Amino acid sequence: MTNLNLPSVYNLIELDLVKSTNLTAKEFASKGEESIPDGTIIWAREQSDGRGRRGKYWSSPKGNLYTSLILRPEIILSESAQLSFVAALSIYDALGNLGPPGHQVHCKWPNDILLNEKKVSGILLESEGALANKPADWIILGIGLNIESYPQDTSFPSTSLHSEGWNTSVEEVLMAFSRSFLSWSNTWLESGFSSIRQNWLWRSIGIGTMIKVELDNKILEGVFEDIADDGALILNQNGKTRRVTAGDLFFSNVK
């Protein structure tokens, strides 16, 4: 067992090797709220089948952070995506509190964190039982953060804390994240998504620039105009705006 100093609202389950902490978190969550309460953190040292958004693989060797937070908030389906913005702000702040000065951290739509314009962290939000007007039984907030290593074969450039010269441990990142998540969750509960959205926009990259968004079967191009109230990207294509709810974002002026 590692001696982690997490705020007392969390219930930590620490594991060595799992297929995917999101998968393990779902198994635990389905045991019910009595034994697995809101705020349970599944943390593994390694994953054999780490999963990213849109069915992608998430490279998961030892040395990086793989964690899934089990949440049981009273929110309906359309609001649950807001949690990934709360998590992105929390990762942003955790890195800001830990890193040496002179580095750029950004939130990248929809659920990534960039360090010096390369992806260092991704978020995978999954839920069960949510209906349009019924809260989910649970929401799993999966977070991967590259600390010692990063995959070389990604379509968007990746990096890790160590390769950017940061001497930070997995434990330090998890402790810093857990503290800032508590703080941003309170902001969300007290001030609603508008405050989260505004704070995310201040820390984001690419607003007002030409972008490409890769969907399952096509690529959309246009100007990244804004983020809607539900977290959708607003793309301006020759004066016409359209909402994009899922996809991979690429910047036209970078590489």
Enumerate binding residues for ligand BTN (CB under 6 A).
20-22, 47, 50-53, 56, 58, 66-68, 111-112, 122-124, 142-144
> Least distance from C-beta 42 to ligand BTN, angstroms?
9
> Least distance from C-beta 64 to ligand BTN, angstroms?
8
Q: Which residue is nearest to ligand BTN (CB)?
A: 122
Q: Which is nearer to ligand BTN, 144 or 223 (CB)?
A: 144
CB-hemisphere CA count at 13 Å for 67?
26
Q: CA 129, 130, 134, 135 torsion: positive or negative?
A: positive
d(CA 3, CA 16): 15
Q: Which is nearer to ligand BTN, 36 or 123 (CB)?
A: 123
Q: Which is nearer to ligand BTN, 28 or 223 (CB)?
A: 28
Q: Which is nearer to ligand BTN, 29 or 143 (CB)?
A: 143
> Least distance from C-beta 194 to ligand BTN, angstroms?
25
Q: How many CB atoms are closer than 10 A to CB 38?
A: 16
Q: Which is nearer to ligand BTN, 36 or 223 (CB)?
A: 36
> Least distance from C-beta 27 to ligand BTN, angstroms?
13
- The set of residues, in sequence order, having a beta carbon less than 8 Å from that of 160 and lying 6+ positions away, is 64, 120, 146, 147, 148, 149, 150
> Least distance from C-beta 40 to ligand BTN, angstroms?
14
Residue that is written with structure tokens 């929809």 in the block: 110
Task: Please return the burial class of 175, using the count of CB atoms within 10 Å of its CB with bins 0-12, 13-18 and 19+.
Answer: middle
Which pair of structure tokens corresponds to residue 206?
Answer: 């690419």
